[in-house]
């Protein structure tokens, strides 16, 4: 499976990055609940001794901040032979390629034609679709950074292209792999809550001016695709709908409350009715300084409640900061299990200290994607699953634009060009800052 050309290139350049400080050098502590948790980590040994001929040749599209997490994963995983990177800014690709000793490309199709079989897409959100479709049509399997895209039309086009090309399409949503998140999913599946009847997301974080100025695309409708809903909250939105199931209808609103120097929303809220009759609410914001937390809680018909704090304190910004606080269950009121909370918190804290959490979960999920290709099965998070979060935030934008409850499922609006209301005059009015004040900033 490894072409002669690639073998030669690798033997000329070597295959290890110069950076010897790898997550793999730390030995993670084991969690007590074997089996359900970290199935992927256990499965890793299955592919540990892959013949180089059996490894997948891998590449990265978009060589910015999060690209380095992907590069580390693709360098370390036994299923991967990391061979190439691609960036429209070829100089950027070259500098990155040099660091990891792989080949640089400016064009996705050229990279895939060079032998790459699986790619990760790490470009800004409105630019997820183009490279994904090109890579799929050229024959490569694709895993895309979150969210799948910034519009439903892009999601449809990506999923269609992957299906037509018969390649796998997956999306990164690494917080699903957190032990406290998996515990809740399992408790729901084991009917320990009765039926889930209430779900809440509270993601109250902070992003400052330096963050928004770190790339020209940030804070702009066309460059970022949206604000807190599109960039920071997708993890918690994904987890909420993973726990409670398909949405029936939603009413939402959004605003820019304290970031006059950006176009996009820094805050959003929504009320949801799920198809199973459960109710939910969402409150997400980048406006709390210092950042507080990201939390998802579920309450059941039995009266039991469970919750996870996925993020605590200053939030992780790839390339700018690390994860500072362990994900923990902050609520566990299942009769007979209340006493587990403290020991789980200790266990999760010890586990967190035994790994590099910034890299560990990305690596697990990219590994699942590569194993899905090798085993010809669905990845843990297929494109269709990623589309659900895009549908959720699209509904919040449309709900505010039309001032109405939005029924699900949603379809792309082919007759409109206002990006679900993000580009209308109303979006400027959603800033509490007047245009004059904004200009003064």
Site string for ligand NAD, 347-386 (x = CB under 6 A): ----------------------------------------
Q: How far is the CB of 92 from ligand NAD (least distance, A)?
A: 5
CB closer to ligand NAD out of 56 and 366? 366
Q: Please answer whether residues 143 and 385 qualify as being in contact, where contact means their C-beta atoms are separated by less than 8 angstroms.
A: no
Q: Which residue do the tokens 């994860």 mark?
A: 323
What is the separation, in whole angstroms, between the first and last Cα of the chain?
56
The residue within the footprint of ligand NAD, chosen from 31, 47, 141, 146 (CB under 6 A), is 146
CB closer to ligand NAD out of 122 and 187? 122
What does the alpha-carbon distance between residue 177 and residue 369 come to, in Å, rounded to a whole number? 13
Rounded to 10°, the helix 383-402/152-165 angle is 160
Cα-only R_g, the chain: 22
219 binds ligand NAD (CB under 6 A): no
CB closer to ligand NAD out of 193 and 236? 236
CB closer to ligand NAD out of 320 and 411? 320
Dig out the tokens for 38 from the structure.
């970290």
Q: What share of the chain is helix, strand, coil (3-state, %, to 5)?
A: 40, 20, 35
145 binds ligand NAD (CB under 6 A): yes
The residue within the footprint of ligand NAD, chosen from 75, 120, 123, 400 (CB under 6 A), is 123
The residue within the footprint of ligand NAD, chosen from 92, 294, 312, 357 (CB under 6 A), is 92
CB closer to ligand NAD out of 62 and 180? 62
Site string for ligand NAD, 50-89 (x = CB under 6 A): -----------xxxxxxx------------------xxxx
The residue within the footprint of ligand NAD, chosen from 23, 37, 97, 127 (CB under 6 A), is 127
Q: Quick one: which of 265, 303, 306 has its CA closest to 397?
A: 265
* Count of positions on this chain that bind ligand NAD (CB under 6 A): 26
What does the alpha-carbon distance between residue 53 and residue 107 come to, in Å, rounded to a whole number? 26
Q: How far is the CB of 299 from ligand NAD (least distance, A)?
A: 27
Q: Contacts with ligand NAD in 244-303 (CB under 6 A)?
A: none
Q: Contacts with ligand NAD in 221-240 (CB under 6 A)?
A: 231
From residue 232, how far is each of 36, 98, 223 by CA, in Å?
A: 27, 30, 15
Nearest 10 degrees: CA dihedral of 72, 177, 283, 200? Answer: 180
122 binds ligand NAD (CB under 6 A): yes
Dig out the tokens for 287 from the structure.
């406006």
């Amino acid at each position: 499976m490894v072409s002669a050309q690639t073998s030669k290139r690798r033997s000329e350049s070597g295959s290890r990055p110069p950076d010897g400080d790898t997550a793999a050098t730390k030995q993670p502590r084991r969690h007590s609940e074997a089996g359900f948790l970290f199935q992927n980590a256990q499965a890793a040994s299955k592919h540990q001794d892959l013949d180089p001929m059996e490894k997948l040749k891998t590449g990265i599209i978009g060589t910015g901040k999060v690209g380095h997490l992907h590069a580390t994963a693709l360098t370390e995983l036994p299923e991967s032979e990391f061979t190439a990177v691609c960036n429209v800014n070829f100089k950027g690709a070259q500098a990155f390629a040099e660091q990891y000793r792989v080949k640089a490309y400016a064009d996705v199709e050229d990279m895939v034609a060079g032998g790459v079989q699986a790619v990760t897409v790490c470009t800004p959100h409105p630019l997820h679709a183009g490279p994904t479709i090109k890579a799929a049509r050229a024959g490569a399997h694709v895993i895309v950074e979150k969210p799948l895209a910034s519009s439903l039309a892009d999601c449809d086009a990506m999923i269609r292209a992957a299906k037509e090309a018969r390649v796998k399409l997956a999306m990164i949503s690494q917080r699903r792999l957190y032990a406290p998140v998996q515990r809740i999913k399992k408790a729901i599946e084991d009917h320990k809550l009765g039926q889930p009847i209430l779900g809440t997301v509270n993601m109250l974080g902070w992003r400052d001016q330096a963050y928004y100025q770190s790339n020209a695309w940030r804070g702009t409708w066309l460059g970022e695709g949206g604000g807190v809903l599109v960039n920071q909250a997708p993890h918690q939105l994904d987890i909420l709908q993973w726990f409670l199931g398909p949405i029936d209808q939603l009413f939402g609103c959004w605003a820019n409350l304290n970031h006059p120097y950006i176009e996009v929303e820094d805050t959003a809220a929504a009320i949801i009715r799920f198809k199973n009759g459960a109710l939910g609410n969402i409150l997400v914001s980048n406006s709390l300084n210092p950042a507080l937390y990201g939390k998802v809680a579920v309450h059941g018909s039995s009266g039991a409640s469970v919750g996870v704090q996925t993020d605590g304190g200053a939030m992780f910004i790839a390339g700018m900061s690390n994860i500072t606080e362990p994900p923990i269950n902050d609520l566990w009121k299942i009769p007979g299990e209340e006493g587990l909370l403290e020991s789980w918190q200790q266990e999760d804290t010890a586990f967190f200290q035994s790994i590099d959490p910034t890299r560990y979960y990305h690596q697990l999920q990219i590994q699942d994607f590569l194993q899905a290709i090798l085993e010809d099965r669905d990845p843990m998070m297929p494109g269709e699953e990623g589309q659900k979060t895009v549908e959720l935030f699209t509904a919040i934008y449309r709900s505010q634009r039309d001032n109405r409850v939005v029924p699900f499922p949603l379809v792309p609006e082919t007759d409109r060009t206002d990006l679900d209301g993000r580009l209308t005059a109303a979006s400027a009015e959603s800033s509490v800052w007047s245009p004059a004040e904004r200009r003064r900033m």
